[in-house]
Structure 1
Amino acid sequence: MTNVLSRLLAATALTCALSNQAFAQGTTQSNTTNPPPKKVVLVADTVHISAEGLLVAEGNVEALADGIRLQATQVTYDNQTGQINFEGPIRITQGEDVSIIADAAELDNELRSGLIRSARVVLAGQMQMASAEMKRLDARFNVLNQTTVSSCRVCQTGEPPLWRIRAKRVVHDQQERQIYFDHASLLIRDVPVFYFPHLRMPDPTLDRTQGFLIPTIESTSLLGYGVKVPYFIPLGDTRDLTLTPYLASETRTMEFRYRQGFEKGGIEFNGALSDDTIRPDITRGYVFANGLFDLGRDYKLTFNLRAVSDDSYLSDYDYSDLDRLNSNIKISRANRDESTEFAFHHFKSLRAEEDNDTLPSLVLQAQTERRYFPTSIGGEIRTRVEAHGHQRRSSVDGDAGRDVGRANASLQWLRNWTLRGGLRAGVTGELAFDAYRTLNDSSFSSFDSAITPSIAVDFRYPLAKIAADGATYLLEPVAQIGWTGGNNLDVANDESTRNEFDEGNLLSLSRFTSYDRRERGAQTAVGLNWSRLNTKGWQSHVSLGQIFRSEAQGDFTQTSGLSGTTSDFLIAGQLKNQTGLLLNARGLIDPNGTLDKASARVGWSNSTLWLDASYIWLNEDLQENRDQEISELALDSRYRLARHWTGLLDWRFDAVSGRASEAGLGLEYRNECVKVELSLSRRFSTSSTVQSSTSVGLSVALLGFSVNSNNKSYDRTCG
């Protein structure tokens, strides 16, 4: 109690003394426009007046003024000059990002200006600037002479830091958050590597500023050796432009990215222009544009525009793996009881075997789906209305020039009941109208329409059990009996060419992807869902299912799992645990025991490993333009080998041909002050438009000058 009281009395005495000095200065300057000095609060264990008339505070001294906090062991205040001397070790903090550690300081009575000796400035806990003497001006500028700057940890072993910048003079502008160097040298260990007469870099607290970003050295078998040097240009608070010259032995390329934010949305453009030796006859390039805007009343406007000069440009420069470009503009609204969308699509294929004149490249679509909950009949009513049209550039009669427009509407009623014993029963009734207009194809009717009624009843019997070990088991048999009337329309199959049986459409009445086809006749679907959830986070799920029909549906392909009167047997499973492991698998087995399709995917994410591995197997199917089976394994992983080392692997293997289609290796070294990435990739191609290529990349980044670069898990420790 006595110690606390003495600190309060000392604080009061010091504050009064500084306030009197501030008042005196304020009265002498009353004829000027300068604002009165800020009040400084001093707290200490003891206070006394020296023989020279100086006010001396000792023991746990703290000074606070206008967001500045200073801690020292002793403070001497001269009432005549207004100067405050601090004896260290001292620590000055301003906000959360600037900290100054020093041996001694001479500051004015507002702690805003003065001289600091043996100073070390720490920015955002990662960048350090050390100097024997530092001048502090107006709490904004820190001027250091003969300065060393680094973000590397320095241990008491005499070993120099991995890198540092040594400058004759350094000025840190805390308001603009910029660091200016005069006569600066970059040293790796103790070896000078680069010299800069003048250099400006952002401090780690600045989110965005004009200047160069991390350069990348690349080497590819198509473009040769080259370097990319991105330059970032902010255009106000809501826009920016990044220009990246790419200079290589076989190309001169300018990459660009433009971003702009608006009050209710934003846009982004990415692209490049190239003059290379691969196609010297043309100027090559691409543009990808994306945008999102809020139109009000829950409506969103989105656009995605894709354009490229030639079919192989994206692959040659490794900008994208897309082989079909979808440009679209959409206006949509989605909420709990409504889904509405108006969309325009333009498709362009980059595949050598596809002709863009005969593909439906222009697509217009408008649809709305709503649901209601009538109290008179109970259950749920869903309405859907859709209009669709697609057009080919070719006007040749037949499938090469066929244009189609359609209109579809449906009214659906759904209701569920819980019966005695826990049995769940549901009924679904639907009445649908389909109308098609076909142009430039005399083999089909120019107009056809139909009304299709359908009804289905389904049953579920969920069972649950808690085992002795606390695990919960769930078992749910499901069954559905349904019927769909009407006849198929005399229209071409343009949209329902790829269909697949899975656990999501087991109880659907029509599993075609569009309305140009509907399943007809009676059908029965049976299935079984099983789950296990234990108390330690493990979860496993298995689903089984099969469909039986009164008549076969000829438009289903063999490997869709839905052809014939008896569908393939569906088996699907999932396994996940608390360590980040996730495993999904699905397979379709036809009634003869032949595997038609299979896929599996493994994901694992934790502090050490990020893994995404997948396998797909498809049997041959001429109806799906597949004259041989497909068996492909893909792997994308990142593994932290040690504290500072991370390995990367990207691999895609074609098991049918017995060779890799893509392969990539990467190695990354990172600590608290540097990040080095080395990558090697190879793309194998059998296409006539896309060539095989090998790429090597190297990038080096000095950490500490950018935000979010201080990941403590990579920091080195002193032994």
Structure 2
Amino acid sequence: MVFRRKFLLVPLSFIVLLISIETIHGSEREEIKIKSIEAETISNDKDGNLILAGNVIINTNLLSFSSSSALLNESEGLLELVGDVEVISDNFQVNSSEMKANLNLQTFLANSTEIYDENSNFGSTEEFVIRTSGDVELINTSVTSCSKEDPAWTISTKSITYLDGPKNVVIRGIKLKLKKIPIFYFPYVRTALSNESMSGFLTPGLNQTRNGVDISMPYYFNLAENYDLVLTPRHISSRGSGLASNFRYLNTKFTGEINVSGLSGDKRYKKETGIDDSRWNASWQNKTVLSKNLYSNIDFQSASDEYFFRDIGNDQFGETRTSYLPRKFSLTWKNPFLKINLGISRYQILNPFSFEEYKSKPNLTIQTYVSRKDLSFSIFANKSKFELDRINPLRSSYEEVDRLFLSPRLTFRKNLPSSTFLFSTGATYIKHNFDSLQESKSSPWVEMKYSVFLDKVNNIQVSSLIPVIKYVFVEDNYKNQTNLIDSRIISLDYSTIFQRGRFVGLDRFSENNKIIVGLERVSSSLDKDSFNSVSLGKAFYLKDRTYYEDSSIIRNSSPLVAEFKTKIRGNIWSKSLVEWDNESKKLNLASFGFSYQKNDHKRIEFRSIYRRQDPNKAYIPWIDKDMKTNHSELVTQWPLSKSINVFARWQKDHESNKSNDILFGFEYSNCCLKWGLMNRKWIEEDYFSWKNNYTSSFQALSEGLDPSIERSRTYVFFELKNIGRFGKEISKALSSTKLE
């Protein structure tokens, strides 16, 4: 359960509503002017006061007053209301038995007051005072978002005092009750009501996790206007106690944030590993502006062990997976024509099943770009040195690699009335030093692309037919391109099929002599939020080439790529992609996504992906790396009635015929609370499973170890609206990144 800042904001919101009409802001306040007076009888006393009786209604420019009777001195602005008093503004309504007000000074005194806001929140206070100084005091106050007659929960306070000078609120004697049972008490809170910060306790946290009860009590230190600190003592029942800190700083030259968290000891981790030591995580993000053109960035993250985020950093559903932590520094100088970057990047690997991650020693990147009318010229150059911590024994790898990459480019672009012509030429030079071995290669290249835009417009629809033809020539006489650092084969779609090669990264380029033909049809409705597009693309090789998935296959064309996108009335969309290989008469890749979302509580989503073979399987140590990928996922959330929602998520691996994740449940909601039940059964990786029988995780995977472990759990979640919750929000429980 997390009692967020809303715990304090619920009682404070009523004060905010009263002062938001600018009745107590000194020089900024708007004068209250009486516009009309109505009553069954109106008379005067000897002092000139108006005596109003029977259905009294007094309308002003800011407020509307009504009561059974009233006494008004217009010259002095004194107003006394008695019997069924009601004060109404655009945002709130106040009911009381009697009220005294000075309209000129804008001060109010009321007893036995009930307050309603525009969000159906209800509050009551025995005494409500707004003084001339602008201070506000509420005595014996209670608030709720439930019904007045039978509230499921209430927050009561002994006193709430708003201090106008420092814009602070002091709250004493805070109690949270479920029905009539007190479940939480806090004696004293002082907090800032405006944007001004002040030191003090923040909202405490009580979380239900797979590690038991997780309690935290943050304290905020307002050290200065431009830097602050939060210290949070924390206790996890099955693990131990620790501390977290968050330090933020801001300057005209630099801005950043430092986070440190950890446990002095971890009982559960000691039982699993035998290691009895402190566990921690630290991060530092910093940006420094040294001059108008020179700046630096730091992104440093580190953890005591590779299982820290699995145990302490993840949430109760086991969703969070952090495979590596970056440690990066960059120094950049740039102007409109030139950019120079000096950088260092390393990574702490947290996933024992991740291999062959190079760390970069200082690398230098230079980019320049100049253009004039239709002609432009650019150069990209990079000099890097890499080190490898863990070598993949199934592939040839080097412990140290020096790499120089250079690519100049000259481009001519001409935009015609209904078409575009693009001509580019350049060269690519790569030099590698592998330990004591040196290799280099260079390749000139040429690209020509012509696109035609055939548009048709009528009163309700715009449609376009866009045929594209492109010629690519890349000369490459160097065939040994197996030692790759950051180059990978990319999947084909309508965008990537027009690229010069199939690789991303700076290590590898492939010989090409091809013509690419594409056709795209796009239509959209002017009066409805609707959209449709169909795209087809295929490359034809002027020189036969081997197939990257099977070197024994010689082919003269690429697979056919087709993309389909549809959007109907803004809340229904679908997207699909097909890669069909005509040579093998097989489907290489297919994906499909569909979504219908009416609102936050009514949605259906379906995603599916099929891949016949992973093009980068050489980097995968799993013994089943040659298996097809065939996954689908269904997510739904649907209201059965105004108060009851059902939700579910299902992920299926069709190749292994296993359900990777099954989640379903229901939620009940009314005006003031939510509660529900959820069951989840899923498969995740067990990071410890290989240690008993293998010398390394790589050996375990390559010899067929399946580190998957099945987990099953039932969750209860409960929320008092506007206060806090015990358990997970449905939107986060249903979210998934596996297929997105």
Range into which the TM-score falls when normalised by the shorter chain:
0.7 to 0.9
- Name the SS of the counterpart of 2:309 in structure 1: helix
In 1, distance between residues paired with 2:497 and 2:363?
A: 27
Matched, 1:187 2:180: no
- Which of 98, 108, 122 is 1:104 aligned to? 98
Q: Could you tell me which residue of structure 1 aligns to residue 388 of structure 2?
A: 392
Native 8 Å contact 2:121 2:144 kept in 1: yes
In 1, distance between residues paired with 2:123 and 2:244?
A: 35
1:496/1:541 Cα in 2 relative to 1: closer, same or farther (>3 Å)?
same
Within-5 A mapping of 1:15-164: 44-45=36-37, 50-56=44-50, 58=52, 60-61=57-58, 71-72=65-66, 75-76=70-71, 84-87=79-82, 89-90=84-85, 100-107=94-101, 110-111=104-105, 115-122=109-116, 127-138=121-132, 140-154=134-148, 159-164=149-154
Structure 1 residue identity aligned to 2:58? V
- Name the SS of the counterpart of 1:278 in structure 2: helix
In 2, distance between residues paired with 1:512 and 1:265?
A: 38
Q: Which whole-Å deviations, capped at 9, do the CAs of 1:36-84 have from their partners, x for residues lacking one?
A: x9987555548988444242265643578xxx85735665357999964
Structure 2 residue identity aligned to 1:273? G
In 1, distance between residues paired with 2:523 and 2:30?
A: 67
Within-5 A mapping of 1:175-214: 175=164, 176=167, 178=169, 180-182=171-173, 186-189=176-179, 191-194=180-183, 196=185, 198=187, 200=189, 210-213=200-203
Q: Which whole-Å deviations, capped at 9, do the CAs of 1:151-203 have from their partners, x for residues lacking one?
A: 3233xxxx411212355x33342644536244x654333x3233748354879
In 2, distance between residues paired with 1:604 and 1:364?
A: 48
- Which of 579, 604, 610 is 1:617 aligned to? 610
Native 8 Å contact 1:408 1:515 kept in 2: no
Native 8 Å contact 2:247 2:258 kept in 1: yes
- Which of 289, 299, 302 is 1:304 aligned to? 299
1:407/1:62 Cα in 2 relative to 1: closer, same or farther (>3 Å)?
same
- Which of 196, 203, 222 is 1:235 aligned to? 222
Matched, 1:633 2:624: no
1:505 deviation in Å?
2.6
1:287 deviation in Å?
3.2
Q: Which whole-Å deviations, capped at 9, do the CAs of 1:505-559 have from their partners, x for residues lacking one?
A: 33322332133322324211122212232343321212211222244566x7319
Greater Cα shift, 289-298 or 383-392: 289-298
In 1, distance between residues paired with 2:31 and 2:574?
A: 64
1:338/1:699 Cα in 2 relative to 1: closer, same or farther (>3 Å)?
farther
Q: Could you tell me which residue of structure 1 aligns to residue 349 of structure 2?
A: 349
- Which of 259, 278, 282 is 1:283 aligned to? 278
Q: Which whole-Å deviations, capped at 9, do the CAs of 1:668-687 have from their partners, x for residues lacking one?
A: 55544345576554442354
Q: Which whole-Å deviations, capped at 9, do the CAs of 1:286-332 have from their partners, x for residues lacking one?
A: 33444556666477654433322222332234253122333333456
Native 8 Å contact 2:333 2:341 kept in 1: yes
Native 8 Å contact 2:360 2:384 kept in 1: no
Q: Could you tell me which residue of structure 2 aligns to residue 485 of structure 1?
A: 475
Q: Could you tell me which residue of structure 1 aligns to residue 17 of structure 2?
A: none
1:243 deviation in Å?
2.5
Within-5 A mapping of 1:561-580: 564-580=555-571
1:486 deviation in Å?
4.6
Native 8 Å contact 2:334 2:340 kept in 1: yes
1:466/1:92 Cα in 2 relative to 1: closer, same or farther (>3 Å)?
closer
Structure 2 residue identity aligned to 1:620? Q
In 1, distance between residues paired with 2:573 and 2:554?
A: 31
1:588 deviation in Å?
1.8
1:568/1:44 Cα in 2 relative to 1: closer, same or farther (>3 Å)?
closer
Count of paired positions? 644
Native 8 Å contact 1:352 1:687 kept in 2: no
1:136/1:699 Cα in 2 relative to 1: closer, same or farther (>3 Å)?
farther
1:213 deviation in Å?
3.1
**Aligned residues with identical type, % of pairs:** 12
In 2, distance between residues paired with 1:643 and 1:214?
A: 32
Within-5 A mapping of 1:252-267: 252=241, 254=243, 257-262=246-251, 266-267=255-256
- Name the SS of the counterpart of 1:446 in structure 2: strand
Within-5 A mapping of 1:540-559: 540-551=532-543, 557-558=548-549
1:409/1:185 Cα in 2 relative to 1: closer, same or farther (>3 Å)?
closer
Structure 2 residue identity aligned to 1:629? K
In 1, distance between residues paired with 2:219 and 2:644?
A: 29
Matched, 1:653 2:659: no
Q: Which whole-Å deviations, capped at 9, do the CAs of 1:241-272 have from their partners, x for residues lacking one?
A: 26262422344455555555555775345564
In 2, distance between residues paired with 1:166 and 1:517?
A: 68
1:635/1:403 Cα in 2 relative to 1: closer, same or farther (>3 Å)?
farther
Structure 2 residue identity aligned to 1:286? N
Within-5 A mapping of 1:671-710: 671-676=670-675, 680-689=679-688, 693-694=711-712, 700-704=718-722
Q: Which whole-Å deviations, capped at 9, do the CAs of 1:85-109 have from their partners, x for residues lacking one?
A: 2346555689x87764333223457
1:660 deviation in Å?
3.0
Native 8 Å contact 1:548 1:566 kept in 2: yes
Structure 2 residue identity aligned to 1:609? K
Matched, 1:587 2:568: no
In 2, distance between residues paired with 1:664 and 1:383?
A: 52
1:569 deviation in Å?
1.6
1:161/1:429 Cα in 2 relative to 1: closer, same or farther (>3 Å)?
same
1:598/1:42 Cα in 2 relative to 1: closer, same or farther (>3 Å)?
closer
Structure 1 residue identity aligned to 2:627? Q
Native 8 Å contact 1:646 1:667 kept in 2: yes
In 1, distance between residues paired with 2:253 and 2:663?
A: 40
In 1, distance between residues paired with 2:136 and 2:213?
A: 39
1:139 deviation in Å?
5.7
Q: Could you tell me which residue of structure 1 aligns to residue 372 of structure 2?
A: 374
The unaligned stretches of length 5 or more in structure 2 are 1-26, 690-708, 725-740
In 1, distance between residues paired with 2:656 and 2:378?
A: 49
Native 8 Å contact 2:160 2:170 kept in 1: yes
Structure 1 residue identity aligned to 2:503? F
Structure 1 residue identity aligned to 2:323? D
Q: Could you tell me which residue of structure 2 aligns to residue 600 of structure 1?
A: 592
1:364 deviation in Å?
4.6
Native 8 Å contact 2:391 2:397 kept in 1: no
Native 8 Å contact 1:651 1:663 kept in 2: yes
Asked which structure has the greater CA Rg, the reply is 1
In 2, distance between residues paired with 1:680 and 1:290?
A: 38
Q: Could you tell me which residue of structure 1 aligns to residue 262 of structure 2?
A: 273
1:526/1:519 Cα in 2 relative to 1: closer, same or farther (>3 Å)?
same
- Name the SS of the counterpart of 2:310 in structure 1: helix
Native 8 Å contact 1:86 1:104 kept in 2: yes
1:620/1:541 Cα in 2 relative to 1: closer, same or farther (>3 Å)?
same
In 2, distance between residues paired with 1:38 and 1:534?
A: 48
Q: Could you tell me which residue of structure 2 aligns to residue 24 of structure 1?
A: none
Native 8 Å contact 1:553 1:564 kept in 2: yes
In 1, distance between residues paired with 2:572 and 2:339?
A: 34
Native 8 Å contact 2:168 2:190 kept in 1: no
1:162/1:326 Cα in 2 relative to 1: closer, same or farther (>3 Å)?
same
